[in-house]
Amino acid sequence: MKNSSIIPEPSIHLVSSNDQSNISSTLEFRYSDELDMSVSSSKKLGSISILSDTSGHNQFIVSLGDRKKAGTDTFRKASASFARWSISHSTNEYRLDIDQPSILSVNSAAFSVLEGLCLGGFDFDRYKTKDIEPKKAITVHIQSKKLKDLDDAINTAMIIGSSVNLARDWIHEPANVINPQSLEDRVKAAAKEFGLSVKVIHFDELVSMGAGGLTAVGKGSKDKPRLLLVEYKGSNSETPIALVGKAITFDTGGYSLKPSDFIQGMKYDKAGGVSVLATIIAASRLKLQTNIVAVIPTAENMISSEAYRPDDILKMLSGLTVEIVSTDAEGRLILADALTYTQNVYKPRAIIDIATLTGGVKIALGTLRAGLLSNSDKMATILQKAGDITGELLWRLPMDEEYFDLIKSDEADMKNSGAREASTIVGAIFLKQFVSDDVPWAHLDIAATGEADSEKPWCGKGPNGFGVRLMLEAIRQLS
C-alpha cells in the first residue's frame, strides 16, 4: 500500500522566514472592536476582510470576535477559519508576524494560531469527480522576534495538524474502503512510515485466547475481527501509557438492527481506534520521551448466520461472562477484551480509552463536551486540564457502584446493556469491570463530539479528529 494514498498531504505549509519583503499579502488578527466596518463584512469570529492598496499590497484581517471572550481556542478557530477560506481563494502565499498585539494579548495564543492554520485546511473530497478545483498548497511565512523556538513551534504545529487530519481522513473513509483487513494494512503502512512497531492478533488466535467479546462482535462479517497493537518506545525503562480505541469499521447494530435514520454515518464508529493511532504517530514524530502503546480492537458488526444474537452469553478474555441484551451495544464488548489484554501484557501505568460509545452522551452533554469517566481523580483532572488547553472539552460524569445494578444479569456476571437511563454511565460501568482498581483509567465517550453536524468557519462537516490533541496533551502531563 502506497503511503501517498493513506497519508493526506497538508494544504497549508508553515515556514519560518525573517525576510518577507517580497510577499505582498499579510495576515492579521483583530478583535471585533478594532475592525473597520466600512470594509469588514462581519464581526463574527473567523470572518475575513480584505484591505488592498494601490501598490498591490493586501491585508487579510481575521476577526477574533469579542475581546472579552477571547482565549487560546479563539485564536485556534480564527486561524483555522482563515485556512479553510484560503484554499478556495487565489492567493498562495501570506506573511504573518506572530508578534501582533492581539496575539500577544493572550498566553499561548501564538501556538494556537499556528495550530489552527494546520488544522483548518482539511477537506475530504477524494471521491468527487465533478466541478472539483485542483488542490493548491498555501504557504504562510511566519516571523517572530518574541516567540522562542519558532522553528520548533512550527514543526510541532504541523505534526499535530497532519496527525489530526490523518484521523479525519481515515474516519471519513467508507466501509467498502476501510474494513478490519484494510485497516490492518493501513496501520502497518503508517507504522512503517513513522518507525513504530506493530503486532496483529488475528481471529483464530483471539478465539484460542478466549477473547469472546471481540470475536463475537466481528464474526458475522467476512472480514474477521482482529486486535492491532502499535508501540512507540520513547523511554528505555518505564511502563507504557496505553491508549485503547474502538474501531468498528461499520456498525449495523447486528440483529438489534439500527433504524435507517441512525445506520447512515456508522462508518464513523472507528473514530476512537483511528484517533489513538494518530496520537501515537504524533507522539513518535514529536519524540515524546515516554513509552506508549495503542491498542485497537477492530471489527465489523454485521448480520449473518455466524453473527452473535441477543440472549447469547459470552465468556470474555478476563473470564467474566456477559449476557447479550443488545447486539448494538458492541463497542464495550470489544473494548473490554482490549482492556484486559492491555493490562495482562503491557502492565500500563495509565490507560485512556476513547470511543463513540453511546448516543446517550449527546442527550447528556450535547456536542460541546465529551463524556469523561474515570476511576482516578488525578487522571480525570489531567484530562480535564488537557481538554481546556486544547479546546477539546470534557465533562466528568459519576460512576457510583450502584449504577452496576442497571446491568445485573440473572444468568451471567452482567448484561451488556440496560435500560435507557444513564446509558453513558452504564457503558463506562461495564468497562470498569474489566479494569483493575490499581490502574489509573479514564474513558472518553466521543459519540457526540467526534463529528461536526454542520460546517463551521473553522471546521468542515463530519469527523473532526476530536481526541488526538487532547490525548497528546494528557500524555505530556502524565510523562
Task: Return the domain boundaries, the chain.
Answer: 9-155, 173-478
Task: Residue 131: count other Cβ atoms within 10 Å of its Cβ.
Answer: 5
d(Cα 229, Cα 231) in Å, to the nearest integer? 7
Give the pLDDT of residue 4.
62
Q: How confident is the model at residue 395 (pLDDT cuts 50, 70, 90)?
A: very high
Mean pLDDT throughout 66-76? 95
CATH class of 9-155: alpha beta
Mean pLDDT throughout 55-63? 91
Q: How confident is the model at residue 478 (pLDDT cuts 50, 70, 90)?
A: very high
- What residue type is assigned to position 373 of the chain? L
The answer, yes or no, to whether residue 75 has pLDDT greater than 90, is yes
The answer, yes or no, to whether residue 2 has pLDDT greater than 90, is no
The tens digit of pLDDT for each residue in 90-147 reads 899 999 999 999 999 898 999 999 999 999 999 998 999 887 777 788 999 999 998 8
Q: Active site residue: 67, 188, 233, 258, which one?
A: 258
Find out whether 444 and 467 touch, Cβ atoms under 8 Å. Answer: yes
Q: Active site residue: 76, 332, 369, 432, which one?
A: 332
Catalytic-residue membership of 168: no
Q: How confident is the model at residue 211 (pLDDT cuts 50, 70, 90)?
A: very high
CATH superfamily entry for domain 173-478? Zn peptidases (3.40.630.10)
Give the pLDDT of residue 18.
80
d(Cα 297, Cα 229) in Å, to the nearest integer? 9
Mean pLDDT throughout 262-278? 97
Please give the distance of CA 449 from its chain centroid, rounded to a whole number: 9
Mean pLDDT throughout 431-435? 98
d(Cα 42, Cα 202) in Å, to the nearest integer? 55
Return the C-alpha cell found at 408: 445485573
How many percent of the chain have pLDDT more than 70?
Answer: 98
Rounded to the nearest 5°, which phi and psi values hold at 466? -55, 130
Mean pLDDT throughout 64-89? 95
Q: How confident is the model at residue 56 (pLDDT cuts 50, 70, 90)?
A: confident
Strands 394-396 and 313-315: unpaired
Give the pLDDT of residue 136.
80
Give the pLDDT of residue 469.
98
The answer, yes or no, to whether residue 317 has pLDDT greater than 90, is yes
The tens digit of pLDDT for each residue in 398-420 reads 999 999 999 999 999 999 999 88
d(Cα 69, Cα 358) in Å, to the nearest integer? 32
Give the pLDDT of residue 226.
98
Residue of 438, 234, 428 lying closest to 336 (CA atoms): 428
Q: How confident is the model at residue 457 (pLDDT cuts 50, 70, 90)?
A: confident
52, β-bridge pairs: 58
The answer, yes or no, to whether residue 38 has pLDDT greater than 70, is no
Q: What is the mean pLDDT of the chain?
A: 95
**HEC per residue, the chain:** CCHHHCCCCCCEEEEECCCCCCCCEEEEEECHHHCCCCCCCCCCCCCEEEEECCCCCEEEEEECCCHHHCCHHHHHHHHHHHHHHHCCCCCCEEEEECCCHHHHCCCCHHHHHHHHHHHHCCCCCCCCCCCCCCCCCEEEEEECCCCCCHHHHHHHHHHHHHHHHHHHHHHHCCCCCCCHHHHHHHHHHHHHHHCCEEEEECHHHHHHHCCHHHHHHHCCCCCCCEEEEEEECCCCCCCCEEEEECEEEEECCCCCCCCHHHHCCHHHHHHHHHHHHHHHHHHHHCCCCCCEEEEEEEEEECCCCCCCCCCCEEECCCCCEEECCCCCCCHHHHHHHHHHHHHHHHCCCEEEEEECCCCHHHHHHCCCCEEEEECCHHHHHHHHHHHHHHCCCEEECCCCHHHHHHHCCCCCCEECCCCCCCHHHHHHHHHHCCCCCCCCEEEEECCCCCEECCCECCECCEECCCCHHHHHHHHHHHC
Catalytic-residue membership of 258: yes
User: 34-43: string of b/e by CB count within 10 Å (b at 16+)?
Assistant: bbeeeebeeb
Q: How confident is the model at residue 1 (pLDDT cuts 50, 70, 90)?
A: low
Return the C-alpha cell found at 316: 470474555
